[in-house]
């Protein structure tokens, strides 16, 4: 293990941390340890790292801000990659913005609003990276990234850099080309926004922020909505209707505020959370015949 980490450090590609706690890098605040965590300085460094990992046959995972992931409690025998150094941003042309995959989505929304650009208000409370939001096609308030993304710069599995246009990204409800092809890595995004009134944009964002505070359990670690809303229904309502609101397993709880959130309220393990997800899925299917689709990604589960 030390030999691999030292070899990565010798590549001189950015900050390298050894034997890290996954819990510190995911919003659920759960998970085991990982072999290492690397913060590549730029795209060239990322390519150099992945080429090395592929040659050494070492597993790796790009984690963004860790806001939609549930790692198991087991040791992850691989390297986690965080793209927080890919954080460039440029407003240009006719209401366009070019932004690195590691840039904070909330920070982007605030900056766009300050410049009087509308189109991102729906995302102003989504706590992920730009790359992660494109991967998941994150959305809220009947909008999502698919409405504003013009083009995505990606790294292919054979380490070529290509551009995918909006149609090629195949955005649909909480999914995209990248989710179905996880070995492609989002590097940079070009968004097409529109000019609006700064005061009106910021007022919408304030109202929605308050709505989130009132309706979501933001005081506890979570990963946002657990299940996608089934067509014509709401996952939270279904979970509440089968009597699971407030249900606890270990230190995890189905939120009493919003039943489509599972929170780490008291030193939960990843297994506690996974058991609640499975229980909610099972009970809703048994009572209503609806197989709810999990919005979050399970990593390193047997």
Instruction: Give catalytic residues, as residue numbers.
Output: 174, 225, 295
Residues 262, 220 contacting (CB under 8 angstroms): no
Residues 277, 262 contacting (CB under 8 angstroms): yes
Residues 159, 210 contacting (CB under 8 angstroms): no
């Amino acid at each position: 293990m030390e030999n691999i980490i030292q070899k990565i450090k010798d590549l001189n590609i950015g900050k390298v941390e050894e034997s890290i706690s996954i819990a510190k890098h995911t919003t659920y605040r759960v998970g085991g340890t990982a072999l290492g965590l690397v913060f590549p300085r730029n795209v060239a460094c990322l390519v150099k790292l992945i080429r090395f990992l592929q040659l050494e046959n070492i597993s790796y995972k790009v984690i963004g801000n860790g806001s939609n992931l549930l790692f198991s409690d087991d040791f992850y025998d691989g390297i986690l990659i965080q793209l927080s150094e890919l954080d460039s941003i440029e407003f240009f042309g006719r209401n366009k913005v070019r932004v690195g995959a590691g840039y904070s989505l909330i920070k982007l929304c605030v900056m766009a609003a300050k410049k009087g650009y509308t189109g991102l208000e729906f995302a102003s409370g989504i706590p992920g990276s730009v790359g992660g939001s494109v991967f998941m096609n994150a959305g809220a308030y009947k909008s999502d990234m698919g409405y504003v993304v013009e083009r995505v710069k990606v790294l292919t599995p054979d380490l070529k850099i290509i551009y995918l246009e909006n149609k090629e990204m195949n955005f649909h409800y909480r999914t995209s080309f990248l989710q179905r092809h996880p070995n492609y890595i989002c590097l940079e995004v070009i968004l097409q926004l529109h000019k609006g009134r700064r005061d009106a944009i910021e007022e919408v964002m304030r109202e929605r922020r308050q709505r989130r505070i009132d309706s979501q359990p933001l005081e506890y670690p979570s990963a946002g909505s657990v299940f996608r809303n089934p067509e014509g229904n709401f996952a939270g309502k279904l979970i509440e209707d089968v009597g699971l609101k407030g249900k606890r397993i270990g230190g995890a709880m189905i939120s009493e505020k919003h039943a489509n959130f599972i929170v780490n309220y008291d030193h939960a393990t990843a297994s506690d959370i996974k058991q609640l997800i499975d229980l909610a899925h099972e009970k809703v299917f048994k009572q209503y015949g609806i197989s709810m689709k999990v919005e979050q990604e399970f990593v390193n589960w047997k």
